[in-house]
């Protein structure tokens, strides 16, 4: 029997929405009743302009600009402000209710909530406009009344809409503020001033000046549309940049996986150098982009070894002088490979110089000190450390403390002092698995590189079988 009485989260939320709607209706009803008894309906103005502004508010609401699935913005607040300042709180409350009238329909609870919201906002904005009151109207008083009404309008609109989104479970206050805040800060001061001037002209010059109201209303509508289009453009650009970064990383991974087919040591080494380089860049306070670039360059720093003679990478003993000269060509070979890839020019330059020395005795261009790109100096330290702490065909891995001592001894000659000091600070606070390059994230990245190679080989085999059949 228990399941028949079980109340779902959806039922609880629907009940909360209905209660919230009832509370809003009660509050709006009390507000309108109080306004009828206190301020009443203005008799000194013709009702026709009020009807015209009601129609304008409805039209503005129908032209609302959608920012997200649950957030829309319209310029209906402009005629509401005008009515609040010129006609008073009760007409403003009625105008607020009228703007949502065309949306009557299912779900009715939603329509009731928005109608009550707009009624409360219009009435309270009208009351705020009464504060700077004087027997004689002036531009200053009307502008002050308009600004007070605008502040109350925006604040209540933000509060009530946030409550509605939260209770319905369709949004958060942060999202609403992030989407609408910039528009409000940019547009409301300007358009509120124009509405105030039009209100003064309506009261002191001629009611026909209200015809000019369409100018700020149209301009505000275009501002909202332009803002939405700019947001969409930035969002699309961000998505394109994300795809480009993923494509760059995937390509780098494929390159290293290709090299791994020749040298089983390389993938694990490249993954470790990439992580060490990224962490050093972060320690040095470089930007997120430079940290990502350091990681990417660390992955492909040895890609030039693809072009070395067969057997050179796998040789178990010491290299001859000629073999060492061939080995020293791999940064330039790597540059040649990467230069031919779109958007890899900067990466190619960094990879080319990762074996330079600060004393000018490195290769291939014998650059000195700051002539060497900073990321190249970072990769040089990470590369040397991981090479020393890894097993190689011709020697066993060194302990971390020995490798760190050798880095310290080579500052100002081979390595940049600041880079070595930053890396030492990282290693001093790290655990032994990080120092040995054996932590899970190191192994995972190396496995990913090898996994991509296996996928590429499988795809090639399948393609060959399909072609043969």
Q: What is the DSSP string of 242-283?
A: HHHHHHHHHHHHHHHHHHHTT-HHHHHHHHHHHHHHHHHHHH
What's this model's pTM, rounded to 2 decimal places?
0.49
Q: Which two tokens stand for residue 346?
A: 């900067």
Question: How many CB atoms within 10 Å of residue 257?
Answer: 22
Q: Which two tokens stand for residue 181?
A: 């805040």
Positions in the chain whose pLDDT score sits under 50: 1-7, 65, 135-136, 446, 449-469
Q: How far is CA 255 from CA 163, 295, 299, in A?
A: 52, 14, 9
* Alpha-carbon radius of gyration of the chain: 35
Class at the top of the CATH hierarchy for domain 261-310+320-457: mainly alpha
* The domain over range 2-236 is classified in CATH as 1.10.1760.20: yes
Q: Which two tokens stand for residue 385?
A: 């450390």
Q: Which two tokens stand for residue 102?
A: 């065309």
Tokens 């508010």 belong to 57
201 touches 209 (CB < 8 A) = yes
Domain boundaries, the chain: 2-236, 261-310+320-457
pLDDT of residue 282: 95
Q: Which two tokens stand for residue 393?
A: 């065909």
pLDDT of residue 363: 93
Q: Show the CA angle centred on residue 270, arms to residues 266 and 274, nearest 5°.
A: 175
In eight-state DSSP terms, residue 404 is: H
Would you say the C-alpha torsion 383, 384, 385, 389 has a positive or negative sign?
positive
Question: Residue 150's closest CA among 173, 178, 122?
Answer: 122
């Amino acid at each position: 029997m228990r399941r028949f009485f079980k109340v779902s989260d959806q039922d609880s939320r629907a009940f909360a929405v209905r209660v919230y709607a009832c509370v809003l209706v009660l509050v709006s009803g009390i507000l309108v009743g109080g306004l009828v008894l206190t301020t009443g309906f203005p008799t000194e103005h013709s009702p026709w302009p009020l009807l015209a502004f009601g129609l304008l508010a409805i039209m503005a609401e129908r032209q609302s600009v959608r920012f997200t699935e649950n957030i829309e913005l319209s310029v209906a607040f402009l005629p509401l402000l005008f009515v609040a300042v010129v006609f008073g709180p009760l007409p403003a409350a009625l105008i607020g209710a009228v703007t949502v009238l065309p949306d009557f329909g299912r779900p009715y609870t939603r329509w009731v909530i928005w109608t009550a919201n707009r009624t409360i906002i219009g009435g309270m904005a009208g009351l705020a406009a009464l504060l700077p009151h004087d027997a004689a109207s002036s531009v200053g008083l009307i502008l002050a009344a308009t600004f007070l009404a605008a502040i109350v309008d925006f604040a209540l609109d933000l509060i009530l809409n946030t409550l509605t989104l939260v209770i319905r479970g369709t949004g958060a206050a942060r999202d609403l503020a992030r989407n609408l805040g910039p528009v409000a800060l940019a547009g409301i001061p300007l358009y509120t001033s124009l509405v105030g001037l039009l209100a003064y002209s309506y009261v002191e010059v001629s009611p026909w000046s209200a015809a000019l109201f369409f100018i700020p209303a149209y301009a505000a509508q275009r501002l909202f549309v332009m803002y939405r289009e700019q947001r969409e453009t930035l969002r699309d650009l961000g998505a394109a940049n994300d795809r480009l970064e993923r494509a760059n990383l995937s390509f780098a991974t494929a390159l290293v996986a290709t090299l791994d087919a020749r040298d089983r040591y390389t993938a694990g080494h490249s993954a470790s150098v990439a992580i060490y380089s990224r962490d050093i860049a972060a320690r040095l306070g470089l930007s997120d982009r430079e940290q990502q670039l350091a990681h990417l360059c660390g992955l492909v720093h040895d890609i030039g070894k693809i072009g070395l003679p067969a057997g050179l990478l796998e040789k178990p003993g010491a290299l001859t002088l000629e073999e060492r000269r061939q080995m020293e060509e791999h940064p330039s070979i790597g540059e040649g490979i990467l230069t031919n890839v779109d958007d890899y020019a900067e990466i190619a330059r960094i990879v080319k110089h990762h074996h330079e020395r600060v004393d000018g005795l490195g290769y291939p261009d014998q650059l000195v000190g700051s002539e060497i790109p900073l990321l190249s100096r970072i990769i040089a330290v990470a590369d040397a450390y991981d090479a020393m702490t890894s097993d190689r065909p011709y020697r066993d891995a060194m302990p971390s403390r020995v490798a760190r001592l050798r880095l310290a001894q080579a500052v100002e000659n081979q390595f940049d002092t600041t880079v070595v000091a930053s890396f030492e600070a990282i290693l001093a606070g790290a655990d032994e698995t990080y120092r040995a390059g054996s932590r899970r994230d190191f192994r995972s990245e190396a496995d990913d590189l090898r996994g991509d190679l296996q996928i590429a080989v499988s795809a090639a085999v399948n393609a060959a079988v399909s072609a043969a059949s």
